[in-house]
Structure 1
Amino acid sequence: MELFQRLAEGHAAGITVVTPNPRLSRALISEFDSFQAAKGLTAWEAPDILPFGAFVERLWEDALYSELGDKLPLLLTPAQERLLWQQVIASSREGKDLLFTETAAVHCGDAWRLLHQWRVGEGRGNEDHSAFSEWVKQYEKQTLGDIDSARLPDLVAGLLDKLKKPRRLLAYAFDILPPQTREFFNACRRHGIEVTEVKPETTKTSSIRTSFPSGKEELECAAKWARARLEEGRARIGVVVPQLAQRRKEVVRVFSRVMQPGYSLPGAENAPLPFNVSLGEPLSNYPLVDAALGLLELSFHSVEFARASKLLRSPFLAGAESEMARRATLDARLRRNLGATVALSK
């Protein structure tokens, strides 16, 4: 592969590869390692392959620790961005009618990034559009003197003449370039960086379209299809599942049953499953972490009664076993006397 041959020259070649997403960066690094190992090498320079967002952030960090540092705005973390959106929404007139401001904050952050990526201008819309426009104005006021990931490429593009830059920048597998990304690459070209768009090697294939009565049957068939390909000795098999975050447990259950029957039977060998789900499970799904996060949340905010009840009966709190009956009695009493939300002050 020509790309790997160029990367094999090492950092002296001055090549940086940027990809649209982190998963593709990891896959490309893994393929490069296999390419080098196949040549009989035991050690080699790690290639400079990273997602576009991480590349822009690295340039910002270089500027931050240079003589420009005292003039640069601080970069908000994703958690800080989400909290600011949540505060803006909760304090607004429209936000008072929302049950879940956390979810609205996530959607606002996504919309904010799309606005900048695709250079979406102001326009007229429905009530949702009007509410979002007001939230954007308040968010911009809250972030004066700071910068977020959505606006960072525009900031860094104006600093390129003062930064240390790679000689060659390979934009790998960008099927669609949003205007903001294209403008950033053009700015790189103006400042002497050789920017090349590289497409993955294409292979001849065929496609078949079919339908199923339900999503469950479709998932079962996909698992059987994947197993058949695995038995044929295929090296790489991929299944794309819409809404994977919501269906992750179902996907793992179905693929485990089809790919490794009997995996959950008593006495079954605890062997690794022959598939990988690209979407990791959130830390908050682990009971111990969920209990710790719940305690922190209850310490500073009101929480839903169901959340407080779960904490009261949590096995991770000291004395959970010896006080089980008394905590259950207290929980029943609180259920009768308290409202839908609970705070420590109550």
Structure 2
Amino acid sequence: MTISAFGLRKRFGDKVVLDGIDLSVAEGTVFSLLGPNGAGKTTAVQILSTLITADAGDVRICGHDLRTDPDGVRSVIGVTGQFSAVDGLLTGEENLRLMADLRHLPRREGRRLTARLLERFDLVEAGRKPASTYSGGMRRRLDLAMTLVGGPRVIFLDEPTTGLDPRSRHGLWDIIRELVAGEGVTIFLTTQYLEEADQLADRIAVLDHGKLVAQGSAAELKRLVPGGHVSLRFTDVSTLDRAVRVLGAGSRDDEALTLQVPGDGGVRSLRELLERLDLADVEPEGLTVHTPDLDDVFFALTGHPTPRESLR
């Protein structure tokens, strides 16, 4: 595992922010940590990225022990926080060169890398303009480009698209996918957009009151909550009647000639349902599978509205 954390604990005064959480993140994947505001997501990122220390727990990142080798951890990670680290008084090019200098890259190599990153993040034209003139999406692209200067193997993205318009957000998603698929970078993502986690994450963990209440892929988490069903459509009422007799459960609509059968949306349960119909020589005209979305999962697991709704 690229990131392994066991028994991670953190307390601020009387408030327990992280209560012994365990995390494992595989190399070349996107891992998303979800939770209500104040659940401890940013604290977890700050600990894993060496910005603050944990009260207890063992953490290894790319083989480096967080407690005994923090410099080794820093050598393999990059961090893009909630708030842009871009210096608005400098141009985009100057921001990147500054990062290259801080990484002690030779001047010629730093200039070449700066040119490549400006082109990669579609910032060539804006590169000689002050970053203060950039749009929100441009600043976030520059911020991520600055993170890549050190060639990190793990990137922590703490709510990277908050405040961006949909076009800019989707553009950043494409960049994240390219980093993972093209370069094998591991992404640790926190986000307030459940759609973002659904689109990007290979695995998702839900944090609530300092504890992890669920982990799994988006599909696995959606199967944890009720509400999933298969909607079967038939050509006539008599076939619908036979399906009801065979399956013995569901909600029928005689006008639409449909039958909704509760299910988790999994391949195994769907196969079993179709086999029962096939054995009875009942053939539906079509079917659709409906599963709960991550909003349903989030509410069911935490008892809170989704993160974005809680800001309203």
Scaled by the length of structure 2, the TM-score of the pair is 0.28
Higher strand fraction: Structure 1 or Structure 2? Answer: 2
Scaled by the length of structure 1, the TM-score of the pair is 0.26
Structure index of larger Rg: 1
Higher helix fraction: Structure 1 or Structure 2? Answer: 1
